Amino acid sequence: MTVTGTRNAPDVVDVVALGESMVTFLPARPGRLADVPAFHRSIGGAESNVACALAAAGHTTRWVSRVGADGFGDHLVEAIGAYGVDVSYVRRDPSRPTGVYFRTAGDRADDTHEVAYYRAGSAASAMSPTEVDLEAARAGRVLHLSGITAALSPDCLDLMRELTAPRPGRPLVSFDVNHRPGLWGEGQDPDVLLELARGADIVFVGEDEARQAWGLHGARAVREALPEPEIVVVKQGKGGAVAFAKDTDGPCEDADGTATFVRALHVDVVAAVGAGDAFAAGFLSSTLRGLPVRDRLRHGHLAAAATLTTPGDLAPPPPRTLADRLAALDDPAWGRLRLGPGWTDADAEAAEEARTP
Protein backbone atom coordinates (compact mmCIF):
# COMPACT_ATOMS: atom_id res chain seq x y z
CA MET A 1 0.00 0.00 0.00
CA THR A 2 1.25 3.45 -0.88
CA VAL A 3 0.23 6.95 0.07
CA THR A 4 -0.17 9.80 -2.38
CA GLY A 5 2.21 12.58 -1.33
CA THR A 6 4.12 12.94 1.91
CA ARG A 7 3.44 11.64 5.39
CA ASN A 8 4.58 14.73 7.27
CA ALA A 9 2.44 16.13 10.07
CA PRO A 10 -0.70 17.44 8.36
CA ASP A 11 -1.33 21.14 8.04
CA VAL A 12 -4.54 22.40 9.59
CA VAL A 13 -7.12 23.27 6.92
CA ASP A 14 -10.58 24.80 7.05
CA VAL A 15 -12.45 21.58 6.22
CA VAL A 16 -11.52 17.92 6.01
CA ALA A 17 -13.98 15.67 4.16
CA LEU A 18 -13.71 11.91 4.63
CA GLY A 19 -15.57 9.37 2.53
CA GLU A 20 -15.67 7.31 -0.64
CA SER A 21 -15.56 8.90 -4.06
CA MET A 22 -16.26 6.94 -7.21
CA VAL A 23 -15.91 7.39 -10.91
CA THR A 24 -19.37 8.24 -12.20
CA PHE A 25 -20.69 7.41 -15.64
CA LEU A 26 -23.35 9.86 -16.79
CA PRO A 27 -25.67 8.95 -19.70
CA ALA A 28 -25.12 10.55 -23.08
CA ARG A 29 -28.91 10.92 -23.37
CA PRO A 30 -32.02 10.33 -21.22
CA GLY A 31 -33.46 6.86 -20.94
CA ARG A 32 -33.20 3.59 -19.08
CA LEU A 33 -29.72 2.29 -18.35
CA ALA A 34 -30.56 -0.61 -20.64
CA ASP A 35 -31.14 1.81 -23.52
CA VAL A 36 -28.34 4.36 -23.06
CA PRO A 37 -25.64 3.65 -25.67
CA ALA A 38 -22.80 5.73 -24.19
CA PHE A 39 -21.74 7.43 -20.99
CA HIS A 40 -19.50 10.34 -20.02
CA ARG A 41 -17.00 9.90 -17.21
CA SER A 42 -17.20 12.16 -14.17
CA ILE A 43 -16.52 11.98 -10.44
CA GLY A 44 -19.00 11.46 -7.63
CA GLY A 45 -18.84 11.40 -3.87
CA ALA A 46 -20.88 13.33 -1.32
CA GLU A 47 -17.91 14.25 0.87
CA SER A 48 -15.47 15.09 -1.91
CA ASN A 49 -18.20 17.17 -3.59
CA VAL A 50 -18.33 19.30 -0.44
CA ALA A 51 -14.54 19.58 -0.33
CA CYS A 52 -14.38 20.64 -3.99
CA ALA A 53 -17.16 23.20 -3.61
CA LEU A 54 -15.52 24.71 -0.53
CA ALA A 55 -12.13 24.84 -2.25
CA ALA A 56 -13.75 26.62 -5.21
CA ALA A 57 -15.20 29.10 -2.69
CA GLY A 58 -11.72 29.92 -1.40
CA HIS A 59 -11.40 27.63 1.62
CA THR A 60 -8.53 25.24 2.35
CA THR A 61 -9.80 21.66 2.20
CA ARG A 62 -8.56 18.08 2.40
CA TRP A 63 -10.08 14.83 1.19
CA VAL A 64 -9.21 11.70 3.18
CA SER A 65 -10.09 8.36 1.62
CA ARG A 66 -8.82 5.20 -0.05
CA VAL A 67 -8.87 4.37 -3.77
CA GLY A 68 -7.51 1.52 -5.84
CA ALA A 69 -4.05 1.56 -7.38
CA ASP A 70 -5.73 1.73 -10.78
CA GLY A 71 -6.55 4.21 -13.50
CA PHE A 72 -9.87 5.17 -11.95
CA GLY A 73 -8.09 5.91 -8.69
CA ASP A 74 -5.61 8.06 -10.58
CA HIS A 75 -8.48 9.96 -12.17
CA LEU A 76 -10.22 10.64 -8.86
CA VAL A 77 -7.09 11.88 -7.13
CA GLU A 78 -6.16 14.11 -10.08
CA ALA A 79 -9.68 15.47 -10.67
CA ILE A 80 -10.38 16.27 -7.02
CA GLY A 81 -6.88 17.69 -6.55
CA ALA A 82 -7.47 19.96 -9.55
CA TYR A 83 -10.10 21.81 -7.51
CA GLY A 84 -7.38 22.75 -5.03
CA VAL A 85 -8.26 20.03 -2.53
CA ASP A 86 -5.35 18.46 -0.59
CA VAL A 87 -5.30 14.79 -1.68
CA SER A 88 -1.97 13.89 -0.10
CA TYR A 89 -3.62 11.66 2.51
CA VAL A 90 -5.55 9.49 0.07
CA ARG A 91 -4.28 5.93 0.40
CA ARG A 92 -3.90 3.64 -2.63
CA ASP A 93 -4.88 -0.02 -2.33
CA PRO A 94 -3.17 -2.48 -4.72
CA SER A 95 -5.65 -5.30 -4.04
CA ARG A 96 -9.03 -3.53 -4.05
CA PRO A 97 -10.54 -1.52 -6.92
CA THR A 98 -11.86 2.00 -7.06
CA GLY A 99 -15.65 2.04 -6.96
CA VAL A 100 -17.67 3.10 -10.01
CA TYR A 101 -21.34 3.70 -10.68
CA PHE A 102 -23.71 4.44 -13.54
CA ARG A 103 -26.85 6.53 -13.29
CA THR A 104 -29.67 7.79 -15.45
CA ALA A 105 -30.16 11.47 -16.18
CA GLY A 106 -33.27 12.02 -14.06
CA ASP A 107 -33.74 13.31 -10.54
CA ARG A 108 -32.85 10.81 -7.80
CA ALA A 109 -36.33 11.31 -6.31
CA ASP A 110 -38.01 10.33 -9.58
CA ASP A 111 -39.40 6.79 -9.81
CA THR A 112 -37.63 6.27 -13.13
CA HIS A 113 -34.19 7.15 -11.75
CA GLU A 114 -31.72 4.27 -11.86
CA VAL A 115 -28.33 3.91 -10.23
CA ALA A 116 -26.06 0.88 -10.66
CA TYR A 117 -23.27 0.76 -8.07
CA TYR A 118 -20.12 -1.31 -8.45
CA ARG A 119 -18.55 -0.56 -5.10
CA ALA A 120 -18.71 -3.83 -3.13
CA GLY A 121 -15.20 -4.69 -1.99
CA SER A 122 -13.88 -1.30 -3.07
CA ALA A 123 -10.75 0.24 -1.62
CA ALA A 124 -12.85 2.74 0.31
CA SER A 125 -14.92 0.00 1.93
CA ALA A 126 -11.73 -1.05 3.74
CA MET A 127 -11.46 2.30 5.55
CA SER A 128 -11.11 1.74 9.28
CA PRO A 129 -9.52 3.48 12.29
CA THR A 130 -6.20 1.87 11.27
CA GLU A 131 -6.50 2.28 7.49
CA VAL A 132 -6.86 6.06 7.33
CA ASP A 133 -4.68 8.79 8.79
CA LEU A 134 -6.73 9.92 11.79
CA GLU A 135 -4.39 12.82 12.48
CA ALA A 136 -4.95 14.17 8.97
CA ALA A 137 -8.71 13.63 9.30
CA ARG A 138 -8.81 15.66 12.52
CA ALA A 139 -6.53 18.46 11.30
CA GLY A 140 -9.30 20.80 10.23
CA ARG A 141 -11.55 23.42 11.72
CA VAL A 142 -14.43 21.26 10.46
CA LEU A 143 -14.55 17.52 9.77
CA HIS A 144 -17.31 16.69 7.30
CA LEU A 145 -18.72 13.16 7.25
CA SER A 146 -21.68 11.37 5.69
CA GLY A 147 -23.89 8.44 6.57
CA ILE A 148 -22.94 6.79 3.30
CA THR A 149 -19.59 5.75 4.80
CA ALA A 150 -21.27 3.96 7.70
CA ALA A 151 -23.12 1.67 5.28
CA LEU A 152 -20.05 0.52 3.33
CA SER A 153 -18.66 -2.03 5.81
CA PRO A 154 -18.32 -2.82 9.53
CA ASP A 155 -14.81 -1.33 9.43
CA CYS A 156 -16.19 1.90 7.97
CA LEU A 157 -18.81 2.03 10.71
CA ASP A 158 -16.07 1.61 13.32
CA LEU A 159 -14.23 4.53 11.72
CA MET A 160 -17.35 6.71 11.84
CA ARG A 161 -17.90 5.88 15.50
CA GLU A 162 -14.28 6.80 16.23
CA LEU A 163 -14.56 10.15 14.46
CA THR A 164 -17.89 11.16 16.02
CA ALA A 165 -16.92 10.12 19.57
CA PRO A 166 -16.37 13.00 22.03
CA ARG A 167 -12.69 13.75 22.62
CA PRO A 168 -10.61 16.75 23.69
CA GLY A 169 -9.61 19.00 20.81
CA ARG A 170 -12.03 17.38 18.35
CA PRO A 171 -12.82 19.56 15.33
CA LEU A 172 -16.35 20.71 14.68
CA VAL A 173 -18.00 17.59 13.23
CA SER A 174 -20.45 18.08 10.36
CA PHE A 175 -22.61 15.07 9.48
CA ASP A 176 -24.87 14.75 6.45
CA VAL A 177 -27.19 11.80 7.07
CA ASN A 178 -27.39 10.95 3.34
CA HIS A 179 -29.56 7.88 3.86
CA ARG A 180 -29.23 5.62 0.81
CA PRO A 181 -31.64 2.68 1.24
CA GLY A 182 -29.88 0.65 -1.45
CA LEU A 183 -26.67 0.59 0.59
CA TRP A 184 -28.24 -0.86 3.73
CA GLY A 185 -28.27 -4.60 3.27
CA GLU A 186 -29.91 -7.32 5.32
CA GLY A 187 -28.85 -7.18 8.95
CA GLN A 188 -27.79 -3.53 8.72
CA ASP A 189 -29.76 -1.02 10.73
CA PRO A 190 -30.04 2.57 9.47
CA ASP A 191 -30.84 3.58 13.08
CA VAL A 192 -27.07 3.69 13.47
CA LEU A 193 -27.26 6.93 11.48
CA LEU A 194 -29.23 8.43 14.36
CA GLU A 195 -26.49 7.36 16.76
CA LEU A 196 -23.80 8.96 14.60
CA ALA A 197 -25.80 12.14 14.09
CA ARG A 198 -26.18 12.54 17.85
CA GLY A 199 -22.37 12.62 18.10
CA ALA A 200 -22.00 15.46 15.57
CA ASP A 201 -22.03 19.22 16.05
CA ILE A 202 -23.84 20.13 12.81
CA VAL A 203 -26.31 17.73 11.18
CA PHE A 204 -27.92 17.92 7.74
CA VAL A 205 -30.92 15.70 7.08
CA GLY A 206 -33.82 15.73 4.67
CA GLU A 207 -37.29 15.58 6.19
CA ASP A 208 -38.10 12.77 3.76
CA GLU A 209 -35.05 10.68 4.66
CA ALA A 210 -35.70 11.14 8.41
CA ARG A 211 -39.15 9.73 7.82
CA GLN A 212 -37.85 6.84 5.73
CA ALA A 213 -34.88 5.92 7.93
CA TRP A 214 -36.23 6.65 11.39
CA GLY A 215 -40.00 6.99 11.07
CA LEU A 216 -39.88 10.63 12.18
CA HIS A 217 -42.50 13.05 10.86
CA GLY A 218 -41.76 16.76 10.70
CA ALA A 219 -38.78 18.94 11.47
CA ARG A 220 -39.61 19.34 15.15
CA ALA A 221 -39.63 15.57 15.62
CA VAL A 222 -36.18 15.38 14.05
CA ARG A 223 -34.82 17.96 16.47
CA GLU A 224 -36.37 16.16 19.42
CA ALA A 225 -34.62 12.96 18.33
CA LEU A 226 -31.33 14.87 17.95
CA PRO A 227 -31.03 17.10 21.03
CA GLU A 228 -27.22 16.95 21.25
CA PRO A 229 -25.94 18.70 18.07
CA GLU A 230 -25.43 22.45 18.22
CA ILE A 231 -27.26 22.83 14.91
CA VAL A 232 -29.66 20.50 13.12
CA VAL A 233 -30.62 21.54 9.58
CA VAL A 234 -33.77 19.85 8.28
CA LYS A 235 -34.12 20.22 4.52
CA GLN A 236 -37.70 20.36 3.25
CA GLY A 237 -37.15 20.07 -0.48
CA LYS A 238 -38.68 22.83 -2.57
CA GLY A 239 -40.20 24.35 0.55
CA GLY A 240 -36.93 25.40 2.15
CA ALA A 241 -34.90 24.43 5.21
CA VAL A 242 -35.14 24.97 8.94
CA ALA A 243 -32.17 25.15 11.30
CA PHE A 244 -32.55 24.36 14.98
CA ALA A 245 -29.69 26.01 16.85
CA LYS A 246 -28.90 26.07 20.54
CA ASP A 247 -27.79 29.69 20.27
CA THR A 248 -29.16 31.43 17.23
CA ASP A 249 -28.93 35.10 16.45
CA GLY A 250 -31.13 35.00 13.37
CA PRO A 251 -34.88 35.65 13.05
CA CYS A 252 -36.76 32.77 14.63
CA GLU A 253 -39.98 31.00 13.81
CA ASP A 254 -40.56 29.53 17.28
CA ALA A 255 -41.31 31.32 20.53
CA ASP A 256 -38.45 29.50 22.23
CA GLY A 257 -35.98 31.04 19.78
CA THR A 258 -34.50 27.82 18.44
CA ALA A 259 -35.75 27.49 14.85
CA THR A 260 -34.84 29.56 11.81
CA PHE A 261 -36.64 28.87 8.53
CA VAL A 262 -35.54 30.09 5.10
CA ARG A 263 -37.61 29.30 2.06
CA ALA A 264 -35.96 27.75 -0.98
CA LEU A 265 -35.30 29.86 -4.06
CA HIS A 266 -37.26 29.68 -7.30
CA VAL A 267 -34.83 27.84 -9.58
CA ASP A 268 -35.02 26.75 -13.22
CA VAL A 269 -33.64 23.27 -12.58
CA VAL A 270 -31.29 21.66 -15.09
CA ALA A 271 -30.28 18.66 -12.92
CA ALA A 272 -31.04 17.94 -9.26
CA VAL A 273 -28.09 15.66 -8.45
CA GLY A 274 -25.52 17.18 -6.09
CA ALA A 275 -27.72 19.94 -4.70
CA GLY A 276 -27.61 18.55 -1.17
CA ASP A 277 -23.82 18.51 -1.13
CA ALA A 278 -23.72 22.05 -2.48
CA PHE A 279 -26.16 23.17 0.22
CA ALA A 280 -23.91 21.69 2.91
CA ALA A 281 -20.88 23.42 1.38
CA GLY A 282 -22.64 26.79 1.32
CA PHE A 283 -23.80 26.40 4.90
CA LEU A 284 -20.34 25.33 6.13
CA SER A 285 -18.61 28.14 4.23
CA SER A 286 -20.75 30.75 5.95
CA THR A 287 -20.35 28.94 9.27
CA LEU A 288 -16.58 29.30 8.94
CA ARG A 289 -17.15 32.99 8.30
CA GLY A 290 -19.23 33.33 11.47
CA LEU A 291 -22.42 34.44 9.71
CA PRO A 292 -25.85 34.33 11.39
CA VAL A 293 -27.92 31.18 11.03
CA ARG A 294 -30.37 32.78 8.59
CA ASP A 295 -27.51 33.78 6.30
CA ARG A 296 -25.97 30.31 6.53
CA LEU A 297 -29.24 28.84 5.28
CA ARG A 298 -29.44 31.41 2.51
CA HIS A 299 -25.89 30.68 1.40
CA GLY A 300 -26.80 26.98 1.41
CA HIS A 301 -29.75 27.67 -0.89
CA LEU A 302 -27.61 29.83 -3.19
CA ALA A 303 -24.89 27.16 -3.47
CA ALA A 304 -27.56 24.54 -4.18
CA ALA A 305 -29.03 26.82 -6.87
CA ALA A 306 -25.63 26.98 -8.57
CA THR A 307 -25.61 23.18 -8.86
CA LEU A 308 -29.30 22.89 -9.76
CA THR A 309 -28.79 25.18 -12.76
CA THR A 310 -25.89 23.17 -14.25
CA PRO A 311 -25.90 19.60 -15.64
CA GLY A 312 -23.21 18.01 -13.42
CA ASP A 313 -22.84 17.08 -9.73
CA LEU A 314 -20.39 19.93 -9.18
CA ALA A 315 -20.74 23.57 -10.16
CA PRO A 316 -18.66 26.66 -9.43
CA PRO A 317 -20.24 28.47 -6.48
CA PRO A 318 -21.49 32.02 -6.97
CA PRO A 319 -18.83 34.69 -6.38
CA ARG A 320 -18.76 35.59 -2.69
CA THR A 321 -19.66 39.22 -3.32
CA LEU A 322 -22.70 38.18 -5.34
CA ALA A 323 -23.77 35.55 -2.80
CA ASP A 324 -23.38 37.99 0.10
CA ARG A 325 -25.46 40.60 -1.71
CA LEU A 326 -28.25 38.17 -2.50
CA ALA A 327 -28.18 36.69 1.02
CA ALA A 328 -28.68 40.20 2.42
CA LEU A 329 -31.93 40.83 0.50
CA ASP A 330 -35.02 41.52 2.56
CA ASP A 331 -37.56 38.71 2.82
CA PRO A 332 -39.91 39.94 0.03
CA ALA A 333 -36.99 40.38 -2.39
CA TRP A 334 -35.59 36.95 -1.45
CA GLY A 335 -39.00 35.44 -2.13
CA ARG A 336 -39.17 37.04 -5.60
CA LEU A 337 -35.70 35.98 -6.66
CA ARG A 338 -35.60 33.48 -9.53
CA LEU A 339 -32.36 31.93 -10.76
CA GLY A 340 -31.68 30.12 -14.01
CA PRO A 341 -28.70 28.75 -15.94
CA GLY A 342 -25.79 31.17 -16.02
CA TRP A 343 -26.93 33.22 -13.04
CA THR A 344 -23.60 32.84 -11.23
CA ASP A 345 -21.90 34.64 -14.11
CA ALA A 346 -24.21 37.63 -13.89
CA ASP A 347 -23.23 40.72 -11.95
CA ALA A 348 -24.97 41.34 -8.66
CA GLU A 349 -27.22 44.07 -10.01
CA ALA A 350 -28.51 41.91 -12.86
CA ALA A 351 -29.04 38.96 -10.54
CA GLU A 352 -31.12 41.06 -8.17
CA GLU A 353 -33.33 42.10 -11.06
CA ALA A 354 -33.87 38.50 -12.21
CA ARG A 355 -37.10 38.14 -10.23
CA THR A 356 -40.49 36.79 -10.93
CA PRO A 357 -43.08 39.45 -11.96
Count the neighbouring beta carbons within 10 Å of the beta carbon of residue 4: 16
Count the neighbouring beta carbons within 10 Å of the beta carbon of residue 189: 10
Question: DSSP characters for 24-50?
Answer: EEEESSSS-TTT---EEEEEE-HHHHH
Question: CA distances (Å), 269 to each of 74, 236, 312, in order?
Answer: 32, 17, 12
- Interatomic CA distance for residues 321 and 326, integer angstroms: 9
Q: Active-site residue among 176, 201, 277, 295? A: 277
Question: DSSP characters for 325-347?
Answer: HHHTS-HHHHHHBEE-TTGGGS-
Question: DSSP characters for 191-258?
Answer: THHHHHHHT-SEEEEEHHHHHHHH---SHHHHHHH--SSSEEEEE-GGGEEEEEESS--S--SSTTS-
Q: Is 107 a catalytic residue?
A: no
Nearest to 119 by CA among 41, 64, 182, 188: 182
DSSP H or E segment with residue 2: strand 2-3
Non-local CB neighbours of 113 within 8 Å, separated by 6+ positions: 103, 104, 106, 107
- 237 pairs with which residues across the strands? none
Active site residues: 277
